[in-house]
A and B are shown apart, each in its own frame.
Chain A
Amino acid sequence: MNSRVLRSAALALVLAGCSSQPSAPAKPLVLSPDAVRLAAQATFGPTAAVVGDIQQRGAAAWIDAQLQLPPTDLGSYPVIADDVNAVCPTGSPASCYRDNFTPFLSEAAFFRNAISGADQLRQRVAFALSQVVVVSGAEVRPNYGIAEYEKLLLRDAFGTYRQLLEDVTLSPAMGRYLNMVNNDKPNLPRGTEPNENYAREVMQLFSIGLVQLRPDGSTVTDSSGAPVPTYDQNAVIGLAHVLTGWTYPLQAGATQRTHNPPYYLGSMVVVPSNHDTAAKTILGGTQIPAGQTPAADLAQALDTIAGHPNVGPFIGKQLIQALVTANPNPEYVGRISAVWADDGHGVRGNLGAVVRAILLDPEARGDVKADPSYGRVKDPVLLLTGPARALGVTTDGVYFARASASLEQPPYLSPTVFNFYPPDYTPESKLVSPASALLDSASVFNRANVFVQLLFSPPGPDKTVTGATGTQITLGDLAPFGNDSGALVDSIDALLFHGTLSAAQRLAVLDAVNAQPSGPSWVRAAAYAVLTSPHYQVER
């Protein structure tokens, strides 16, 4: 260990030595494996408290309670002009750009809420949605605009998909990101055509995908075995014309213009004179009659898209992959598509009901899953929040915002609209594993080195961040076991592996633990050994 690591570990050891009283050996954590698994699927990482809550209420009642919780506040951020030179003139501190024109502060809030918010399921589902209906601070620079979009996803996480799609479509952040804002009707003198960007991606990525699917997620093929496309270029062009005539919301006190200046609170507004009122043909040959208003055109198009039979298997399967397993059996996808089609009360695309069904499905529940293809490689974000929650981290989120960038998954800062990874990424294992796209020989070391820092020398307050409190690690649920390596490994097994560590794995961890001085160093060493293991990186 380098001297800095050694110093802080030694300091912690001294403090622990001063405060600990002789006492009876702590009893190792005993937790229901299925409850631990549900916590891993539905929260940002199991803690003894949340697992106890699940055990007490039962899985369904715990989920129902989570569905009722309102979003934890993401904070509010100053509304600024979308103009770096005006907001941060030459001579401004570097924090001006960082705080106003990158999502840094809202990412710190994201991690505070992910690590300690009560509305864990909502936060987790909104994070999953943020990787489907992607908006990135790489293009939409004002932080308040990104935060507004994140609040939209938190608010709509358990509503209907049709509502989510409408809110996303009219979000000024999305409008800016995929060029629906100020998308004007054809201009013959200038030779410009409506912008196809949002029209294409709303179908390809946000709703139905490229090829026709059966309810169980399998691909429909033609007589020659080729996949049947869901739409063609003409449908993209038709929808691009439908989506003309919208501009930024009007900031209070400003004058309405055909192209309002960038403003990211509320929904985009219509500019009828920029809307193409000709008839259009969109997805599935649906005819949009001539002469409709922009809003009527939009409503008809969104009804068509959200009503397409692909949406259930296409989006439902991605939610299964984000929460439970990357290679669900077709029957599982089919059951979720059925709930998508009708939540039991005649409502289509009820996301709360879909999430509940995903988590309560027999393929999700149970103490142990032995199928060799079961499970999901964890997102880097979960590799940060999981240890933080289990090991009693208190944080202002700053360290986590930075660490998520070094692990290539800074929330709401995806490199492109295609998210941090494709949903069908297939590494050599021959299994789909989206998050494996972020695991390569370089990231192996990045991850291990983040764990070293978090466990042994978490950074204190960053003086350039207003109100910073830094990151502290108390070792949380594992703190009591610094003098009993057997109970320590038992407890890690229960909390992080739902009791699946083998005798050989336990022995390997114990060997590493016993080579350190007892006390907190034992907990840190045990945690480092298991967090860097391949087994921790896969949730199953």
Chain B
Amino acid sequence: MRISRRDVLSGLSMIGLSAGLLGGRRTARAANDDYRALVCVFLFGGNDGNNMVVPVDARYADYAAARRQLTDGGLALAMDQLLPLAPASGPAQFGFHPSMPELQQLWNQGSLAVLFNVGTLVAPTSKADDSAGRVPRPESLMSHQDQQNQWQTSLPDRPSRTGWGGRLADQLPSAPLPPLVSVAGNVLFALGASSHPLAVPGAGGPTFGLSGFNSSAGSRALVTAMDVLRGLDLDNALIQSVAGETAAAFAASGMLSPVLSGTGSTTDALFESQPSVLGNQLLQVARIIEARSVLGATRQIFFVAIGGFDTHNDQLDRQGPLLAEVSSSLSAFHAATVQLGVASQVTTFTLSDFGRTLAPASGGGSDHAWGNHHLVLGGAVQGRQTYGTFPTLALGGPDDFTAQGRWLPTTSTDQYAATLARWFGVAPGDLTAVLPNLGRFASADLGFLG
């Protein structure tokens, strides 16, 4: 691994220059109490929210009737398996999938909220408006790629080359490192108009630097040649793009590679009981958050992801282990933020392609749908509550725009993102720069962050 002394020194000298808060509220020095981070957890494939959060009151009967019993080739979870989500007072109305005990505990502690029936929306709609064509649907509804993109851009009515995470990063003052860090490769969410994300490997992954080099003249000459070559003859736009990515990687490597290798991390042990792909990504996020001062970071946006949720068949066997990984990883990560004293400065939230049909499909699975339920976690979250409107679980019912149980969303991705962005520090007047369609919806704050 190459850690250039020059890179480290220049990085340190820039920390003093890094500006502070958003929205012009006040100028601040880099300090822990100014720090805030958003952590986006993308559930690729379209998580079946219908089995993640299930009513345990009288509505369970609707659920069981439409989902059908397991013995009948159906997908219904048994009532007594569900993990009840009791509110602060009164009986539980909903329960979690049985694979999510850690998240049930975080709900009980008040750090976790559930958001009902969120989706990509061009504008507020209803079954009548939708069927009459008065409100256009998102482009290419129910296509994985398009809906993944639209959840990341929050622009379901047009193609976009930026994501709302990237546009949020565009609002931030310059910092020694890019504020947006993906631990899951290139994603549209992270691309801004002016800001460009970093991608880093998960914990235990490959090194974030060159291997096989030392201080010999031969090594130094090769590194010099690489430095020179990536600045020469950039007459082709694709070569220029590759050169830019390469230069950004080398610029960040000196400061970040010691952090990414776990040097000085105090939270690794929290993730060790159940190592997983998602857990390793979130551990990497925890390490970066722990090093925020030395990295000169006051605002950061992270992107992590887990795939496999496209459960067209054998859903009961497949979704459980995925939700278990989400539950244990998010729980370990939340514990890390508590240990680091930043639990109320870090908010973690889920995105996913779309919800899935309430009616089972041939093969014990479910098909692509639209609105879906999501999770928000953190010390600042007004937890132990649900937000938004739970759909009527009836095939062909008032919330179903087909006959298979596909929910018309009642909350838009714009409202979801705006609530997070305001907490992050974006001034109300700047929200439309991040979320251009926000004005079409009644509320820009869903209330789950106080």
Contact = CB atoms under 8 A, between A and B. Distances in A.
B212 A456 contact: yes
Interface stretch (A19-27, A358-366, A390-398, A439-447): A439-447
A429 B240 contact: yes
Interface of A: 1-2, 5, 178-179, 182-184, 187, 189-197, 200, 204, 210, 226-227, 229, 233, 236, 244, 326, 370, 372-377, 406, 408, 415-416, 418, 422, 425-431, 433, 436-446, 448-449, 452-453, 456, 502, 504-505, 508-509, 511-512, 514-517, 521, 525, 528-530, 532-535, 537-538, 540
Interface in B203-238: 205-214, 216-222, 224-226, 228-230, 232-238
A533 B239 CA distance: 9
25 contacts: A1-B216, A178-B312, A192-B73, A193-B357, A193-B367, A195-B361, A196-B368, A200-B143, A226-B136, A233-B402, A236-B142, A422-B145, A436-B242, A440-B182, A441-B199, A445-B208, A508-B228, A508-B232, A511-B221, A511-B224, A525-B218, A529-B222, A533-B226, A534-B242, A538-B236
Given A1-B214, A445-B208, A179 B234 contact: no
The 5 closest A-B pairs by CB, nearest first: A515-B221, A440-B199, A512-B225, A441-B249, A444-B249
B359 interface: yes
A528 B224 CA distance: 12
* Contact residues on B (Cβ < 8 Å of other chain), bracket: 35 or more
Interface string B137-174: 00111111110000000000000010000000000000
Given A193-B404, A195-B312, A442-B201, 16 more contacts: A2-B212, A193-B357, A197-B312, A227-B139, A229-B140, A372-B236, A373-B238, A418-B145, A422-B145, A431-B237, A431-B241, A437-B185, A439-B186, A442-B205, A532-B229, A534-B243
A189 B222 CA distance: 70
B45 interface: yes
Given A509-B225, A515-B218, A446 B243 contact: no
B146 to A, nearest CB: 7
Contacts of A194: 361-362
A319 B211 CA distance: 36
Nearest to B313: A179
A431 B235 CA distance: 14
B199 A443 contact: yes
Contacts of B213: 1-2
Contacts of B206: 406, 442, 445-446, 449
B226 A204 contact: no
B237 A442 contact: no
B264 interface: no
A540 B237 CA distance: 11
A431 B73 contact: no
Candidate in A445, A512, A517 with the most chain B CB atoms within 10 angstroms: A445
A39 B213 CA distance: 33
Contact of B234 (A192, A438, A534): A534
B230 A533 contact: yes
Given A227-B139, A416-B310, A375 B238 contact: yes
Contacts of B238: 326, 373, 375-377, 429, 431, 433, 436, 538, 540
Nearest to B207: A445
A406 B205 CA distance: 10
Contacts, number: 256
A197 B237 contact: no
B387 interface: no
Nearest to A449: B211
B196 interface: yes
Interface in B391-447: 402, 404
Given A418-B145, A426-B161, A433-B238, A445 B139 contact: no
A533 B229 contact: yes
Contacts of A444: 245-246, 249-250
Contacts of A516: 218, 221
A183 B360 CA distance: 13
A372 B237 contact: yes
B253 to A, nearest CB: 7
B311 to A, nearest CB: 10
Contacts of B11: none
Contacts of A456: 212
Nearest to B314: A179
B241 A428 contact: yes
A429 B140 contact: no
Contacts of A453: 212
Nearest to A540: B236
A375 to B, nearest CB: 5
A538 B142 contact: no
B191 interface: yes
Contacts of B226: 448, 529, 532-533
B191 A428 contact: yes
B74 interface: yes
B233 A505 contact: yes
A417 B232 CA distance: 38
A530 B232 CA distance: 12
A373 B229 CA distance: 20
A445 B236 contact: no
